[in-house]
A and B are shown apart, each in its own frame.
Chain A
Amino acid sequence: NAGVMQNPRHLVRRRGQEARLRCSPMKGHSHVYWYRQLPEEGLKFMVYLQKENIIDESGMPKERFSAEFPKEGPSILRIQQVVRGDSAAYFCASSSGQGGTEAFFGQGTRLTVV
């Protein structure tokens, strides 16, 4: 399966712990987007990355959240000191980045903070 791979699919963390969400883009894709979806709500843009660069992080909370997309390996969304309000589905999408091309989504990571 050459699709976008996210892991873990489900993640349970206690308040105050760290959550690391991983996303491997489709083969040949160098652009990654992260979105958050709360129950019964729409997709909210968080961050847009290209290999080794953050292009747009206007949707990222100022504290506790960070993202990276290293030259080698998956993109990582990191949430430090998680709180109950961080419980959500986090989706990653990838594209080749060229204008007009579609983006394809992974199956998401469902984070539950207890």
Chain B
Amino acid sequence: RKEVEQDPGPFNVPEGATVAFNCTYSNSASQSFFWYRQDCRKEPKLLMSVYSSGNEDGRFTAQLNRASQYISLLIRDSKLSDSATYLCVVRGRGGGATNKLIFGTGTLLAVQP
């Protein structure tokens, strides 16, 4: 089983739609969670951290379910500029080898005009 699993997509949605991405992780000791965005042939960029209580940043909402080892990202009112690959990232407990960041393979979103 992969350490971080995501549906690769693609998700093709019209402008203005709401879209949700899911991610599961295998290591129950994981402590920190993030969503990154990667545009074609560019570096990944941090979109938002994911907190236990859930958090929102404008049109983006991230949630964490530790019991199910599940992370989600919701994008409301999709824009053309949201088209990208969204990467789920998990970090282990602080210190030592488990502190490395583990990336999912990403979910491709294509927002259509």
Contact = CB atoms under 8 A, between A and B. Distances in A.
Interface of A: 31, 33, 35, 41-43, 45, 48, 55-56, 58, 89, 91, 93, 97-108
Interface of B: 31-32, 34, 41-46, 49, 87, 91, 93-97, 99-106
11 contacts: A42-B87, A55-B96, A55-B99, A58-B97, A91-B44, A93-B44, A93-B101, A98-B94, A99-B95, A100-B32, A104-B46
Q: Which of A91, A98, A100, A101 gathers the greatest number of chain B CB atoms within 10 Å?
A: A100
B44 A43 contact: yes
A43 B87 contact: yes
Contact of A105 (B31, B32, B43, B91): B43
A100 B106 contact: no
Given A99-B31, A100-B31, A100-B91, A33 B42 contact: no
